[in-house]
Amino acid sequence: MFSDTQRVESTSVRASIQVSAVNSNKLYWLNNVQTIPNLGLPKQTVNVDELRGEYNHLKDIPLQSYYNIQPMLLIGTNNWKIAVPRMTREGKWNEPIASKCFLGWSTQGSTTSQRFVSMHHCDCKWQELHDEVKESFNLDNILPRNLQSKDDKRPNMPKEEWTI
C-alpha cells in the first residue's frame, strides 16, 4: 500500500538550484529543493518516431527520443511556475498530448502499445496543511469591529456632535 510507505533520508539537504532546457542558456531557479539519493522512479522510454507515425498532432513538435531513462528530478508544487504548461497540443480522447513549459516540450499519457501504468505517489505533509486550513477558520481569533459608516452612526449620536 503506497500510503504506508515512508522513507527517512539522513543525508538529504534543502537547496536552491538552477536548471535549463536542453540546448538552452536560459537558467531558471528551483527554490527549496529537497535532495534524495535515489528517487527510485521507474525507467521510461519515449520513441518520438513511433509517436509521430501514430499521432498526427505530434508530428511537428520538437521532441527528443530517450530509451530506458530513469527520472532524476521531480519538480514540486513549490516551483510550479517552471513546469506549468504554457502551450498544449492534443489529439483524440485517450491519445498522448504534448505540452510546453519553460523547460521545453514533453509528452503525457499513454499509447495503445503500452500495457502498464507508472505512478508515483508522495504523501506530502497533509496533516500540516489540514491544521493550517482548520486554523484559518478559527473564530476565536476574530476581533469585533464596528462596521457602521458616519451616516449610519448619526441617528445614535447627539445632534451637537453631527458634522457636515
* Residues 65, 46 contacting (CB under 8 angstroms): yes
Q: Which of 118, 91, 88, 93 is nearest to 106 (CA)?
A: 88
- pLDDT averaged over every residue in the chain: 81
Query: Quick check: helix, strand or coil at residue 99?
Result: strand
- Predicted local confidence at residue 1, as pLDDT: 40
> Could you tell me the pTM of the whole model?
0.60
* CB contact set of 75 (below 8 Å; sequence gap of 6+): 30, 82, 83
Q: What is the pLDDT of residues 12-54, one digit of tens each?
A: 888 899 999 888 899 999 999 988 888 888 999 999 999 999 9
Cell of 118: 507508472
Euclidean distance between CA atoms 84 and 57, whole angstroms:
20
- What's CA 94's distance to the chain center, in Å? 22
Locate the domains of the chain by residue range: 38-122
Query: Residue 100, by phi and psi: left (phi above 0), alpha (psi -120 to 50) or beta?
Result: beta
- What nine digits make up the cell of 17? 538550484
